Amino acid sequence: MDYRTYIAEKLKIGTLSTEEVASMLEVPPTSDMGDYALPCFRLAKTLRKAPPIIAETLKNSFTEDEVVCGVTVVGGYLNFKINRLRFAEETLKEILEKGEKYGSSRLGEGKTICIDYSSVNIAKPFHIGHLSTTVIGGALYKILGFLGYKVVGINHLGDYGTQFGKLIVAYKRWGDKEKIESGKLRELMKIYVKFHEEAEKDPELEEEARHYFKLIEEGDRESNELFAWFKEITLKEVQKIYDRLNVKFDSYAGESFYNDKMQPVIDELKEKGLLQYSDGAAIVDLEKYGMPPCLILKKDGSSLYATRDMAAAVYRKKTYDFYKCLYVVAYQQDLHFRQFFKVLELMGKEWAKDLVHVSYGMVSMEDGAMSTRTGKVVFLEDVLDKCVEKAARIIEEKNEKLDNKEEVARQVGTGAVIFGALYNNKIKDIVFSFDKVLNFDGETCPYVQYTGARCNSVLKKGGEIGAYSVPSLTEEEYAVVALLGAFPDVVREAGEKYEPSFVTRFAVELAKAYNKFYIANKIIGSEESVKNFRLALTKATHTVLKTSFRLLGIEIPDQM
């Protein structure tokens, strides 16, 4: 049952619709206050009464029944207590029937959402700085798909620009084909760093790099063969990381894909009188919107990120007819997105309102920031490997007799890296710590995984779940039930606000509530009907924990 809608239909507040009233209902901070609450402060202006008086009036007109069995006023809040036994029966029945589909919906049916995320650079390392965009985008891909949207994952590859001229110069001067074939991205990075070191001594190298990039643009065979080789090496290497992180894409159309699609956008800007020239560069003046000019073409006529991003947005609208197009990119690029979104709006693209910059904070290691040019980078592959190795050592110490230790270490170590990037609100900067993410106590990935494994162990020992009724609920049982019932709303809100951390934190809260229940309530050995109910509660918890983590790209081991 949709309890919010049920309560809202019975309330009947002025001209407000059922949907409007339902959206106002909140879950109180503690269950002893009730299960739902209506804050009457928002009604004071329209009803011209003090919130406590409004709450009292509504209480007097509300008839309690077998669904809502208690209504109380606390200050300006009207609190509702539902029939918890009925709620528990309904919630467990739904989860056990739907299984891993519990929490999914048809909310997005018939709508397409494009998500632009990860966007690695060709011939550059997949480093820790790419972690957030990759796993936030990957989680949103799964969450929005779970809500019924058709999702298109786009890896907008950085495969265009002078850096490829630099790489060709570096390869011709200091490269070794065999070394690159074996060392792959790390070897390419070495010669890229070498180029920058040498260019400081010999600035003419920069001119040579521009020359080779021009050759790529002009279709020179040798230069394009080298470029294609660099691209092939990169994609094979990064795919291994994507597989480890449970991240997938539907399109790898990068910057170079839009080379022949930029001119129509530039022509349209001219036709609509939006293009101006400043010191030889083509711009769109955005001063009246509180922004600096949006650069469209450099003095030499070459394009910029904004030009290519506008061409990409137009292409995506034509190809996918998206409902929303999300860009999972760090907050440092906020101005860039505000600028080119505004330019598209000025061009008359009414769908510009559907472009969304999903910004996030930066990730750094405990020893500081990184730079590709100087070679000071932390490879994401190394971070994953180190986490898996560390997880293996901890598992060996905690449970040396565990079967399948290597597989469990992979699940725990990889999950800890993903969880570390998805636990806090996405806009917060993250300082990555191996010790923190692999802590088995507290609000961590291993803690939730261990709880999932505990549920699995209980279910194995308990055997088949027989018939049960719910004559009464302990406080710990209801705390678990209440969270299980809230899961569909959590997923919906995570999708609406593009915030995977809602799901991550929910999983932690559910794990905490289940462990509290497990310690306080006997399961195996209790009276048959009670045992079956508690086994059903355990199975429902296990199902929802696994679903929560699956939406984040994390696995839960069967045993730990």
User: 11 with 25: CB under 8 angstroms?
Assistant: no
User: 35 with 49: CB under 8 angstroms?
Assistant: no
Identify which of 510, 468, 520 has the alpha carbon closest to the alpha carbon of residue 485. Answer: 510
Residues lower than pLDDT 50 in the chain:
none
Tokens found for residue 123: 């011939």
In 3-state terms, what secondary structure has residue 540?
A: helix
Tokens found for residue 454: 């505990």
DSSP characters over 86-138: HHHHHHHHHHHHHGGGTT--STTTT-EEEEE---PBTTS--BGGGHHHHHHHH
Q: Tokens 């500081």 identify what position?
A: 368
Tokens found for residue 52: 């406590």
Other Cβ atoms closer than 10 A to 85: 16
pLDDT tens digits along 471-483? 789 999 999 999 9
Q: Return the bridge partners of 324, or none.
A: 113
Among 45, 81, 101, 124, the active-site one is 124
Q: How far apart are CA 514 and CA 128, in angstroms?
A: 33
Residue 270 among the catalytic residues: no
Residue 458 C-beta-side C-alpha neighbours within 13 Å? 29
Q: Tokens 């081991």 identify what position?
A: 557
Tokens found for residue 399: 């449970």
Q: How far apart are CA 404 and CA 395, in angstroms?
A: 11
What is the edge-to-edge ordering of all strands in the sheet holding 324-330?
Answer: 150-154, 112-116, 324-330, 355-360
User: 3-82: what fold?
Assistant: Gyrase A; domain 2 (3.30.1360)
3-state secondary structure 151-179: EEEECCCECCCHHHHHHHHHHHHHCCHHH
pLDDT given for residue 374 in this prediction: 54
Residue 237, amino acid: E
Q: How far apart are CA 400 and CA 393, in angstroms?
A: 10
Q: How far apart are CA 296 and CA 225, in angstroms?
A: 29
pLDDT given for residue 125 in this prediction: 78
Tokens found for residue 189: 């990075």
Buried b (16+ CB within 10 A) or exposed e, 237-255: bbeebbebbbbebebebbb
Helix then strand count (H, E) for the chain reads 21, 12
Q: Return the bridge partners of 379, or none.
A: 127
Identify which of 57, 89, 135 has the alpha carbon closest to the alpha carbon of residue 551. Answer: 135
Residue 343 C-beta-side C-alpha neighbours within 13 Å? 31
User: 59 with 45: CB under 8 angstroms?
Assistant: no
Q: Return the bridge partners of 81, or none.
A: 70
Residue 156 among the catalytic residues: no
pLDDT given for residue 490 in this prediction: 95
Q: How far apart are CA 54 and CA 43, in angstroms?
A: 8
Residue 324 C-beta-side C-alpha neighbours within 13 Å? 19
Q: How far apart are CA 423 and CA 515, in angstroms?
A: 20
What is the edge-to-edge ordering of all strands in the sheet holding 294-297?
Answer: 276-278, 281-284, 294-297
Other Cβ atoms closer than 10 A to 423: 20
Other Cβ atoms closer than 10 A to 162: 15
- Element (H or E) spanning 81, and its range? strand 77-82
Among 127, 231, 349, 390, the active-site one is 127
pLDDT tens digits along 31-75? 888 999 999 998 998 899 999 999 999 999 999 999 999 999 999
Q: How far apart are CA 504 and CA 497, in angstroms?
A: 14
User: 49 with 14: CB under 8 angstroms?
Assistant: no
Instruction: Output the CA angle 231-232-233, nearest 5 degrees.
Output: 90
Among 81, 130, 317, 426, the active-site one is 130
User: 284 with 274: CB under 8 angstroms?
Assistant: yes
Residue 542 among the catalytic residues: no
